[in-house]
Structure 1
Amino acid sequence: MSNAEQQEFWNAQAGPIWVAQMENMDRALAPVLDHVLGAAHIRRGDRVLDIGCGAGTSTAAAARLAGHDGSACGLDISHALLAHARLSTADAPGLTFIQGDAQTFDFEPDQFDAMISRFGVMFFENTQAAFANIASGLRPGAQLSFATWGDIAENPYFTMPAAIAKTVIGAVPKTDPDAPGPFALRDRQKVVALLDAAGLVEIKARVLPLDLTPPGDAAQVAQLLCDIGPAQRALTHFEANDADRARLVDALIAGLEPFETPKGIRIPAQINLFTARTKG
């Protein structure tokens, strides 16, 4: 999917769905954002760039860490997500949001002290070019911290709904996991090489085994899985009706049973956490 196609997808299709499910997704992915922010070492007074900021939750969190003397700027290609980000953070200080493609956006040199991203960098047509361009907007020695999905087999948040949807609804056309998409940056050695080629230094890749924490019981999480991810793709591809969705929800409820805990649904995940710096 080209950058232009990604923009169309996140504006016309995915953006409105993510806005509707923002609170649920933020709670599900909260452990990931905690790790990204922890590795970013944001200081009071820092100017933070948030790539693929979506509806602005990660940007607002970065702004709080930067304090009254700092700021955070969220960059995303989706008008729908940015409109919600601006509305939901209208009274928060130190926040700005820009519609743009990080691969080609004309950054002002030395504008930011740090860059973060929670699952916002896996969709570039040219990852090396994108990070080289992002680095052009960072000051010398700036810290980058971002998360991507790890190995496919270690992420049942995707594999479980995909397998169940295939059985209940049907098999959707296969996609290339190396193409822009959720798992495009699962190969840590490949990503490290791309960051090095983009001119970044002190590059580190960590594997984080953690639990995703979606809110609600199995029935509520099953509905979320039908709105975002492989199950939703199957429903859309086959133009499924309400009865089809109901059958899929029932099957997903059963599939979530192994992930039920006294603290709620906990879905194990493997996350890649990357850190790097611009040359100082």
Structure 2
Amino acid sequence: MAESPLNRDWSASGGGWAAQGALFDHVFRPATEAIVAAADLTGTVLDVGCGTGALLEAAAAAGARPVGVDISPAMIEVAAQRVPDARTLVADAGAADLRALTDGAGFDRIVSRFGVMFFADPVAAFANVGAAAKPGASLTFVCWQDRRDNLIFHLGIDVLAAAVDPPPTRPAPGEPGPMAFGDPDHVRRLLADSGWVDVVVDDFTFTSTYSRDDGAGGLTDGVEERLAIIAATSGGELRAQLGDDAWFGLIERSRADIRAHVVDGVLSHDNHCWLVTARR
């Protein structure tokens, strides 16, 4: 069977995300905490697009039975090592037999942190996820709003994108991609069409702070951490395309762009998202 473009992309790029999993968790910690607070992690919990296991770890700490699904083998490997009590599977949650992961019992809670926006057919995918849920089970996830002022998609990245010929194209509204669920009415419709009820889409803004302990009693400014995220998510392909000399020149320009946003010695920015809840 031919591998889908989605699977090819994450099979190739997931290694970078896996290598920087701790940094992503640091930057996205408020989103993780919001999901944990809203979801009431009890019973058997499915994490869709579990990445390197932040929500699996939280579910295990709450005494729940965590199950994680992701299409990146590299990230599943990290998640399995991080949360050995979790059941993990490399699979597309939109098509896999998820109920089988509970030996037929079904899930009590379904969660996701930025892991549900890439389904080719979101109605079919959420219906498939719902088929693995117990009656009354809850769904809780965070996704991105489609806003130009979401700096996480621009800071240091626009410099690199400007060097690509042809320039990268942005998916149309509703197409698979980070901002696929940017329209809250679209989210409500697709969840209703896939069998979910009591859908609530709340505005959720959190701050990402990149600075971390520098090991000497102080904090880094976060610039290199931001560059590490960029390199992990898009750097490998672009470096191979441009060659090392051009790549290192671009990185210096990207570093300068990022440093211009450091305030009082710390790099941080707000992220505008939706916190979505529903019930089966």
Tell me the equivalent position of 1:193: 189
1:267 to 269, 274, 280: 269
Tell me the equivalent position of 2:120: 125
Q: CA contact under 8 A between 1:110 and 1:136: conserved in structure 2?
A: no
Q: CA contact under 8 A between 1:206 and 1:274: conserved in structure 2?
A: yes
2:111 to 101, 112, 116: 116
Distance 1:171 1:163, change over 3 A: farther
2:238 to 235, 239, 245: 235
Indicate the RMSD between aligned Cα atoms, in angstroms.
Answer: 2.3
Q: Secondary structure, in 3 states, of the residue corresponding to 2:8? A: helix
Q: Distance in 2 between matches of 1:10 and 1:222?
A: 20
Q: Distance in 2 between matches of 1:129 and 1:207?
A: 25
Aligned pairs, number = 266
Q: Distance in 1 between matches of 2:44 and 2:75?
A: 22
Tell me the equivalent position of 1:165: 160
Q: CA contact under 8 A between 1:169 and 1:234: conserved in structure 2?
A: no
Q: Which runs of 5+ in 1 are unaligned?
A: none
How far does residue 110 in structure 1 lie from its aligned partner after superposition?
4.5
Tell me the equivalent position of 1:73: 67
Q: Distance in 2 between matches of 1:187 and 1:3?
A: 29
How far does residue 262 in structure 1 lie from its aligned partner after superposition?
4.4
- 1:105 equivalent to 2:105? Answer no
Deviation per CA, 1:96-134: give whole Å up to 9, x if none.
101211111113255111000001101111101111111
Deviation per CA, 1:203-242: give whole Å up to 9, x if none.
000111221122443441342243144x638725x71233
- 1:26 equivalent to 2:22? Answer no
Tell me the equivalent position of 1:56: 53
Q: CA contact under 8 A between 2:51 and 2:75: conserved in structure 1?
A: yes
| Counterpart code for 1:224 | A
Name the TM-score, length of structure 2 as normaliser: 0.86
| Counterpart code for 1:24 | L
How far does residue 191 in structure 1 lie from its aligned partner after superposition?
0.8
Distance 1:35 1:23, change over 3 A: same
Name the stretch that deviates more: 98-107 or 137-146: 98-107
Q: CA contact under 8 A between 2:70 and 2:91: conserved in structure 1?
A: yes
Q: CA contact under 8 A between 2:161 and 2:168: conserved in structure 1?
A: no
How far does residue 263 in structure 1 lie from its aligned partner after superposition?
7.1
How far does residue 146 in structure 1 lie from its aligned partner after superposition?
0.3
Q: Secondary structure, in 3 states, of the residue corresponding to 2:95? A: coil
Q: CA contact under 8 A between 2:32 and 2:54: conserved in structure 1?
A: no
Tell me the equivalent position of 2:34: 35
Q: CA contact under 8 A between 1:259 and 1:265: conserved in structure 2?
A: yes
Q: Secondary structure, in 3 states, of the residue corresponding to 1:260? A: coil
